[in-house]
Amino acid sequence: MNQTPDLLRQLAHDPAGAEDYDPNAMSVSQARQYIQQFLTPVQQTERLSIKQALGRVLASPIASTLNVPGHNNSAMDGFAFRLAEASQPLRIVGTAFAGKPFNGTIPAGGCIKIMTGAVIPADADTVVMQEHATVTGEHVSIQKLPGKGANIRLLGEDIAIGQTVLATGHTLQPADMGLLASLGVAEIEVYRRLKVAFFTTGDELVSVGQPLQAGQIYDSNRYSLWGMLQALGAEVEDLGNIADNPQALEHTLLQAAARFDVVITSGGVSVGEADFMKQLLATHGQVLFWKINMKPGRPLAYGKLGQAHYFGLPGNPVATMVTFYQFVQTALKTLMGSHERAQPSFKVACVSPIKKAAGRTEFQRGILFNDGADWKVKTTGEQGSGILSSMSQANCFILLDEASGPLPAGSWVEVQPFTGIF
């Protein structure tokens, strides 16, 4: 962090300045790139049983010590036989159950009854499903001859011995827990949890449970930040609401930077408010205050405070959430060791007209819905950065790039669904 690239230093702006379109403000992608270069994942690891590992990031790859399936087995309830002998009725000489193989040999003109998952005897080559066969006493005639090798799942067709099934950096999903169990893996090595602390600033803020005096508002960012960090699987500590007072802010910041991997603040980075925080962060760390060419979420600070990464998010409740999802979340995933970056987005028709000024990226709140035939999106209405109910109602961001201006109803827009990024 000692050397700030010149271009980026030029683009790192004093927060005091015009609120309108600023050709020197930093673009969303420049800010992301800038942050990304300082992120080194946590190194420490721990061993966990697979049941405890949901959402954790693998610290070493998993290679299979087994073939899955471990034997050729039947994909159907039916009969196993040699296809060359199946033009006439076959005599049933035994039964193979899942977990209880048929251990005999199948004589010429013979077959066995076989259940799904049961081992295919070495001397059978084909399975017919029972619905395509007719049993008369001890014999079975096959109504509809399948192709040779039909209805047999082959040894190792899912996973072969030695194959890497999960790579380092993979985040454990429910399917992975089952997959690991299917390989007999009981414990895995994961990166330790990321330690993240946050506090909010603002003299006007009151904690829930306290009465509101005139002009005060409840501190909602503490709760949205708590939720977003919990959902990411971080070890989170809420340091509370700190008054706009230099000593209190300094004390809290320094304590937090010494104890946590990441410190996040909300408020105090916007025009006219940033002075305390700016001075503090200049004294104790290397932090840049940016005006990002985006809406909501124009002011943003990022840098290092000792070993800790620092993110200063704007106080407006929607801006706090949008900047978290668009900058902080990806950065935290990198720090957690995760290799999965891409957040899905795709294009759908938007049934509402969109108000948008060209020259900045906007993250409007949208509702994806199905009109009976197709998935479409509508906006949540007013897009002010204080309207937190818009985030609650929405199920996606509508991503509008710098170039786009206002759009008539029916335009195709890029959406980023919340499920998949939250």
- Does residue 291 contact residue 299 with C-beta atoms inside 8 Å? yes
The one segment of 104-112, 182-190, 216-224, 288-296 that binds ligand AMP by CB under 6 A: 216-224
**Rule CB under 6 A: is residue 238 a binding residue for ligand AMP?**
no
- CB nearer to Mg ion: give 267 or 285: 267
Site for ligand AMP in 393-412 (CB under 6 A): none
Using CA atoms, how far residue 251 sits from 239, 247, 257, in Å, is 12, 6, 10
Of 270 and 379, nearer to ligand AMP (C-beta) is: 270
Query: Judged by CB under 6 A, does residue 200 bind ligand AMP?
Result: yes
Nearer to ligand AMP, 166 or 225 (CB): 225
**Binding footprint of ligand AMP, residue count (CB under 6 A):** 17
Q: How far is residue 414's CA from residue 43's CA, in Å, rounded to a whole number?
A: 36
The type of residue at 226 is: W
Tokens for 322? 């949008």
Q: Which of 15, 267, 297, 314 is in the footprint of Mg ion by CB under 5 A?
A: 267
> Candidates 144-152, 267-275, 305-313, 325-333 — which segment interacts with Mg ion by CB under 5 A?
267-275
Using alpha carbons only, give the angle 216, 220, 224 rounded to the nearest 5 degrees: 170
Q: In the complex, which residue's CB is closest to ligand AMP?
A: 315
DSSP SS3 for 118: coil
Q: Give the residue with the Cβ less far from ligand AMP, 5 or 17.
A: 17
Q: Which of 15, 267, 285, 297 binds ligand AMP (CB under 6 A)?
A: 267
How big is the site for Mg ion, counted in residues (CB under 5 A)? Answer: 3
The correct pick among 78, 110, 121, 268 for binding ligand AMP (CB under 6 A) is 268
CA distance 65 to 53: 20
Among 15, 78, 89, 202, contact with ligand AMP (rule: CB under 6 A): 202
Quick one: which H or E segment has residue 276? helix 275-284
Q: Cα separation of 336 and 172, whole Å? A: 13
Q: CB–CB of 326/320 below 8 Å? A: no
Residues 46-65 interacting with Mg ion (rule: CB under 5 A): none
Question: What is the Cα–Cα distance from 393 to 227, expressed in whole angstroms?
Answer: 16
Contacts of residue 236, Cβ cutoff 8 Å, sequence gap at least 6: 196, 197, 198, 226, 229, 230
Question: Residue 202 interacts with Mg ion (CB under 5 A)?
Answer: yes
Element (H, E) at 253: helix 246-259
What is the helix, strand, coil percentage profile of the chain, to 5? 20, 30, 45
Of 266, 329, 352, 379, which one interacts with ligand AMP (CB under 6 A)? 266
Residue 188, token pair as written in the block: 């895995």
Contact between 220 and ligand AMP by CB under 6 A: the answer reads yes
Considering only the stretches 125-133, 174-182, 199-207, 322-330, report the one whose residues sit in contact with ligand AMP under the rule CB under 6 A: 199-207
CB of 267: closest distance to Mg ion in angstroms? 4
Q: Quote the CA–CA distance of 68 and 117 in Å, as a whole number.
A: 12
Q: Which does 338 bind (CB under 5 to 8 A by kind): ligand AMP, Mg ion, none?
A: none
Residues that bind Mg ion (CB under 5 A): 202, 267, 315
Interacting residues toward ligand AMP by CB under 6 A: 200, 202, 204-205, 217, 219-221, 266-268, 270, 273, 314-317
